[in-house]
A = this chain, B = another copy of it.
Amino acid sequence: MFESFAVYLTEKASLTPEDLKLVEAVTVAKKLRKRQYLLQQGDISHQNCFIAKGCLRLYRIGEDGNERILRFGIENWWMADYESYNSGQPSKCNIDALEDSELLLIEKNELDALYKAIPKLHNFRVMLEAKSFDASQNRILSIISETAEQRYETFIRSYPEIFNRVPLHMIASYLGVSRETLSRVRQQYVR
């Protein structure tokens, strides 16, 4: 199960076999069944999670009781509530599995130590975070400037590997529209 993580780190971050040993020493494997939580509101998100297999989502519960999905994650993506992860404060979010999933967890302090030991890994992380920020800026632009239909198109274009893998009402939540509206938008699409 560490294997796919090793491949990822070798290809994306150019880690050597020696580097990988250091990583493996602090990595904990975890399997999650569909619907199981990785993190619940109030927990501290003290580990970073690499998704080897499966699909997760990160969401908050609004004052109206509805779920608002902030992010999805699939194979080769990282997942944590970074607000809690960085601050050490209790999380306002939940993370759960949308499919049976295989995860690799690293404690924040262990990962920070790895960054010191493997500068390449640190650079890789900085690059990843920059891309995450870009993605979230582009998502903001999409939400503030596009109609529901355009947002759905943008989502499909941006995440072709995700849109047909998660329930429609979750995509609706991610896009900030009601599931009925998204359903109607899709109809026009089929024609």
Contact = CB atoms under 8 A, between A and B. Distances in A.
Interface of A: 60, 62, 66, 68, 70, 82-83, 86, 126-127, 129-130, 132-134, 136-137, 139-141, 143-145, 173-176
Contact of A136 (B127, B133, B144, B176): B133
A66 B141 CA distance: 12
Contacts of A126: 126
B83 A137 contact: yes
Contacts of A176: 143-145
Closest 5 CB pairs of A and B: A144-B176, A136-B136, A83-B134, A86-B130, A68-B145
A94 B139 CA distance: 18
Nearest to A85: B130
A51 to B, nearest CB: 19
B134 A137 contact: no
A22 to B, nearest CB: 21
A177 to B, nearest CB: 8
Nearest to A151: B144
A182 to B, nearest CB: 13
A174 B145 CA distance: 10
Given A82-B130, A132-B133, A133-B129, A144 B141 contact: no
A14 B50 CA distance: 34
B130 A70 contact: no
A127 B140 CA distance: 22
Q: Max chain B CB contacts within 10 Å: which of A83, A174, A175?
A: A83
A46 B60 CA distance: 36
Contacts of A68: 141, 144-145
Given A82-B133, A129-B129, A130-B82, A140 B143 contact: yes
A81 to B, nearest CB: 9
22 contacts: A60-B141, A62-B145, A68-B144, A70-B137, A70-B140, A82-B133, A82-B137, A83-B137, A86-B127, A86-B130, A129-B129, A132-B133, A133-B133, A133-B136, A136-B137, A136-B140, A139-B140, A140-B140, A143-B144, A143-B176, A144-B175, A144-B176
